[in-house]
Amino acid sequence: MSFDAHALANAATRGLRAYDPGHDLPVLRTRFGTGLCELGSNENSHGPSPAALAAIESALPDIFRYPDPKGAALKVALAAHLDCAENEITLGNGSHELLMLIAQCFADAEHEVLFSQFGFAVFPIATQAAGARAVCVPALPRVHATMPFGHDLATMAAQLSENTRLVYLANPNNPTGTWFGDAELLAFLQRVPAHVLVVVDEAYHEFVTVPELSSALRFVPQFPNLIVTRTFSKAYALAGLRIGYARSSAAVAGVLECLRESFNVNAFALAAAQAALADQAHVAKVRTAIANERDWLTQQLRVLDLFVFPSQTNFVLVDFARDAAVIEKSLFERAVVVRPMGGYGLPQCLRISIGIRAENQAFLDALTAALAA
């Protein structure tokens, strides 16, 4: 009798597919060397604060010891930065882990989870892993005047039911780059009953420049069913260390702590995140540089008669009005890695991270050649 591990897995796991991280970048780095232009993972090419690098080096002698299981020093720093209590913060191995953890703690086969079409890929994965029923609400239409493919909060609110347990929102959203303002979020939260938890993922919050969007954090004291997740992977450029955090009511954080893995954040991540958080001047410098490059790249792409979605992130989504696979392949052959969007149901689109000028120019040069071909 043959052994079938898949058949032994529980029903929720059997239906899952592993998260697709895109191209095998370690192999590509060997193939292309320093000539590889990596613009597919929304990383921060400006790098972390020098203070974060120094903190990692200082932590090296204690590598044989376990990290602080509570992350107490970082929680103190985050509480001061966010103006909240330490027991309202949950630390995670990136915000990805926290989004999964929330579903593990609060969703099950008897309840449903709402999220938007073209929302972050982890939302349906977390839902299915918890065995909950997924409700994918259509995004705003492509022809929407100001926010094509953005979250349709009014329709999402209308879809809430007695069986709804979680709502996942991303603001700004990955992969579209679109966003909704504070007033729209408040109106939505006022329509959400107390038995529904609302999760707002703000992974790209630090790149926001529009005045109408501040942060969902301002509403946490008013709505105890609100959870806000953030990461140090993007603006703080600590993607390789995998660290994120959530702010919620102390009651919600207490539930999350029951299932959070022991030592889920390593010592170097704790030290680097605390140092990076203290260097807000570096974050401000990065925000300005990326906003400027985002505007420049958007204009250059529009000159090529391409549709570029509005973005408040460190990437842009580009619609080529045809299957983009050939273009993506051509860019790849020229050592430029971008992210195809077929997995999101957007086969005509490519997502391009905002790099430094040299990277952005290399992408444009390769794209111009690809379009000409």
β-strand pairing of 315-319 with 307-308: antiparallel
Residues of the chain with CATH 3.40.640.10: 50-278
Residues of the chain with CATH 3.90.1150.10: 21-42+281-372
CB 162 within 8 A of CB 191: no
**Per-residue pLDDT, 39:** 96
Please tell me whether the peptide bond between 347 and the residue prior to it is cis, using omega within 30 degrees of 0.
no
Closest residue by Cα to residue 153 from 185, 131, 114? 185
**Per-residue pLDDT, 52:** 98
3.30.200.20, 3.40.50.880, 3.40.50.300, 3.40.640.10: which CATH number matches 50-278?
3.40.640.10
Each of the 373 residues of the chain gets a pLDDT tens digit; together they read 688 888 888 888 887 776 666 666 666 666 776 778 999 999 999 999 999 999 999 999 999 999 999 999 999 999 999 999 999 999 999 999 999 999 999 999 999 999 999 999 999 999 999 999 999 999 999 989 899 999 999 999 999 999 999 999 999 999 999 999 999 999 999 999 999 999 999 999 999 999 999 999 999 999 999 999 999 999 999 999 999 999 999 999 999 999 999 999 999 999 999 999 999 999 999 999 999 999 999 999 999 999 999 999 999 999 999 999 999 999 999 999 999 999 999 999 999 999 999 999 999 999 999 999 8
CATH of segment(s) 21-42+281-372: 3.90.1150.10
CB 236 within 8 A of CB 48: yes
Handedness of CA 314, 298, 349, 114 (dihedral sign): positive
Closest residue by Cα to residue 319 from 309, 327, 329? 309
Closest residue by Cα to residue 98 from 204, 242, 206? 242
**Per-residue pLDDT, 15:** 79
Quick one: tokens of 129? 């892993």
Instruction: Tell me the pTM.
Output: 0.94
Order across the sheet with 339-340: list the strands. Answer: 307-308, 315-319, 349-353, 339-340
Please tell me whether the peptide bond between 175 and the residue prior to it is cis, using omega within 30 degrees of 0.
yes
